[in-house]
Amino acid sequence: MKSSKMTTTNKLLLIILCALLFSNASVYASDESDVRDTVNRVFEQLKSHDYGSLYDALPGSSRSRMSRDRFVNALQRAQGIYELERLEVGTIKVTGNLAVVDTVLYGSVTVPVQAEGKIVVQQYLVREDGKWRVATGDQGTIKKFLAANPGFAKGFKIRAPRIYVKQGDKWLEFSPPTNRPRT
């Protein structure tokens, strides 16, 4: 009789353990899905020139350093230089209130020359007030993010953005000219 009770207790513990594991897995999948949705939504806002909504997707620290008008005006001035076409979302790494997403943005450069281009960049997101906010262009937030979470980079290699232009059917990495002293 005692071994039957032990088996029932073990089964109950196993069921509880499985339920906890599956609930954590669904939270993780939900986080990844929320992060993916945020990255896609921000890309569509940028593509459609909805800069006011894009401003709302920034972390509070970014919004406190730059007014909505200044942010919107800066992006409007860049309009016409490029056209975004599509986004590929790759690996997503979520740890607590931090996320990094590998992305590739495709588009066309229109000024000074016309060319097909792509940017391979990691999107950095922080969760504030239950919402994912994109901190990609905010070096101060990213540095604080990495300093506060040194183990994060170990599980996900942090990389600088890379820009490519298409020549023929090959992608060539674009390296901006360096300022060399005149002799």
Number of domains the chain contains: 1
User: Residue 41 falls within a domain, yes or no?
Assistant: yes
User: Residue 181 falls within a domain, yes or no?
Assistant: no
pLDDT tens figures, 57-115: 998 888 888 899 999 998 888 888 888 999 999 999 888 888 999 999 999 888 777 88
99: number of Cβ within 10 Å: 27
Half-sphere exposure of 135 (CA within 13 A, CB side): 27
Structure tokens at 167: 């020549």
pLDDT tens figures, 20-44: 444 333 334 478 999 999 999 999 9
User: Residue 183 falls within a domain, yes or no?
Assistant: no
The neighbouring-strand residues paired with 105 are: 87, 119
pTM: 0.74
38 three-class SS: helix
User: Residue 39 falls within a domain, yes or no?
Assistant: yes
Structure tokens at 62: 């970014």
CATH of the domain at 137: 3.10.450.100
Domain, as residue range, for 121: 2-173
| Cα 171 to Cα 101, 103, 117, 163, distances in angstroms | 22, 16, 8, 9
